[in-house]
Amino acid sequence: MDNIVETLQDGGYEVALCRSTSAELLELHTSELRGFDAVAAAGGDGGISRVVNALVKNGVDIPVGIIRAGTANDLATFLKLPLDSVGCAEVISAGKTAEIDLGLVKNGNGEQYFVNVFGAGFLANISQNIDDNFKDMFGKFAYYISGLGALPRYVPLRLRIGVDYPDISQREYIEDEFALFLVFNGAGAGGFANLAPGAALDDGKLDLVAFRNIPIWDMALLMTKVLSGDYFDDENVVYRRSERITAEFYDELPQNPETDADGERGLDLPVEITCLHKKLTIFVP
């Protein structure tokens, strides 16, 4: 921590440290940031997302710097940030910023922002349920190991997905059983860096990637194509780009499956997901 603070001070910043150990403290700390020039958040994708949500909800519009301190760090990887924390602090000290999009998820109970990905289905909520010690021991591989353990409990999602095409005033509906439903602002999740290879953080679009429910052995073959980014011609994958996407169940399930937003608990379906163009300013290399 001392090296990070020293690097930021060398860049001309006066540094105030806050350790937010609860959602309530995070809300309090972010509400007190008005008048500050920037905020540096240390954490993984979930931690960064919590800070961004608190900033936006409190109306605090200042640049956000990311210090890698998580397991997968999908957003930091997409931004090509340095692998070490001091290197990330040097990016902040250099002062180069960019405006990026945010995803906004709404349902009848509230709203939630995401920086990287919102998802539901098989593997989508793995990061929420992994023991921290297990993640510390195995790193990204903890996600893959836990994914295998989740196979016996896997229940397909019977979804009706809506995709808007405002340029031509049309709306498409896709109704099917899906194993996994993902909406990307970035390009990767869970350490897989190329799930949405066409994604950009500032294009005003979200990338929908949904995997139809197919036998597990076929899914394994499909994933090899997905990991290489070469799956666009596969009939078992739905890929769309849009400013607005909706998802709802067309048939009742025994229980509403958990969703995930940047590694945190997401809002329950049905949801409306929209892209907020260039809503957030961040430090970039």
Q: What is the pLDDT of residues 83-116, one digit of tens each?
A: 999 999 999 999 999 999 999 999 999 999 999 9
Q: Which two tokens stand for residue 235?
A: 């009939």
Domains of the chain: 2-101 (3.40.50.10330), 107-277 (2.60.200.40)
* Helix, strand, coil abundance in the chain, percent, nearest 5: 30, 35, 35
**Residue 247 in 3-state DSSP?**
strand
pLDDT of residue 267: 95
Confidence at residue 256, expressed as pLDDT on a 0 to 100 scale: 67
Please state, in angstroms and rounded to a whole number, the distance separating the CA atoms of residues 56 and 89. Answer: 22
Specify whether the CB–CB gap between 143 and 191 falls below 8 A.
yes
Instruction: Provide the 3-class DSSP secondary structure of residue 201.
Output: coil
- pLDDT at position 143 is 46
Do residues 138 and 132 make contact, with C-beta atoms less than 8 angstroms apart? no
pLDDT at 223: 72
Per DSSP (E only), the strands in 80-226 are 97-107, 110-114, 117-121, 157-165, 170-184, 206-212
Cis amide linkage into residue 285, ω under 30° from 0? no
Cα–Cα nearest to 196, from 165, 146, 232, 168: 232
> What pLDDT does 154 receive?
67
Alpha carbon 229 to its chain's center: 18
* pLDDT value of position 224: 74
**What pTM was computed for the model?**
0.87
Parts of the chain with a pLDDT under 50: 125-128, 131, 133-148
